[in-house]
Amino acid sequence: MALTLTLAAGAALADTLNVVSSGGFAAAYKQLVQTWQADPSRSVRSEWGPSMGQTSNAIPARLARHEPIDVVIMVADALDPLMASGALVPGSKVVLADSTIACAVARGSPAPDIHTVAGLRAALLSARSVAWSDSASGEYIEHELLPKLGIAEQLRGKGRKIPATPVGEIVARHEAEFGCQQRSELLAVAGIDIVGDLPDEVQRVTQFAAAIVASSEHQQEARGFLQFLAAPQNASVIRDTGLVPAARQN
């Protein structure tokens, strides 16, 4: 009997929750998962991938390959179609936070004033090169914001979409003079100065959410992990990483 209990305990310890998070929630996640794993019976394997896009590590591509994933954390607008398709457990979606889009320059570079729409437009036009992501914020910038500002053609030669790599890193390496991405992703990068969020009139707030993968063999533990991420006591961690905690956490 004792041997059976020992083996069962060992099996529980050996079970690892496989989680893939998009970059927008990554900074908060990295802190929260350490707290979760303070319990020695819990083990999490963390990987990263964009919520959308054509890279091989994008979350939809991972699910399409049937990778052994238990939990995904991603842009809610990209999560919902995956749930509708049956890739995620119905009803398991947990909204975690909202994120705004911000812009940055390399540390110490002149900081344009982007607090008005006119200022943002001028900053984009005057920058020698501009970078945005291949995920939610970049899709909005390329396909909605630039046309709305009337400068899509002017940016065509000097603006580019950055796959997989955080935009802040491109700016920090002076590979782009001006870059925009989720504020939470920019905050995590050294060597840049965030000059501000997009003005309210053209801002796009992105919701991040988590859900359980339908093929997960650890659904009970996954459900507990999602409840932990959304717990009210974790709101301060989420807020400190540049996100706005879900309304129920305020």
Question: Which stretches in the chain have pLDDT values below 70?
Answer: 1-14, 248-250
> Could you read off the pLDDT of 138-147 as tens digits, one per residue?
999 999 999 9
Classify domain 17-98+206-249 at the CATH class level. Answer: alpha beta
pLDDT for 1? 44
Question: Sheet holding 17-21: strands in order across?
Answer: 44-48, 17-21, 71-75, 206-212, 94-99, 244-245
pLDDT tens digits, one per residue of 85-112: 999 999 999 999 999 999 999 999 999 9
pLDDT of residue 5: 37
- For residue 233, the tally of other CB atoms under 10 A from its CB is 9
- Amino acid 135: pLDDT: 85
pTM of the model: 0.84
pLDDT computed for residue 55 by the predictor? 87
For domain 101-202, give the CATH number. Answer: 3.40.190.10
Domains 17-98+206-249 and 101-202 share a fold: yes
- Domain coordinates of the chain in residue numbers? 17-98+206-249, 101-202
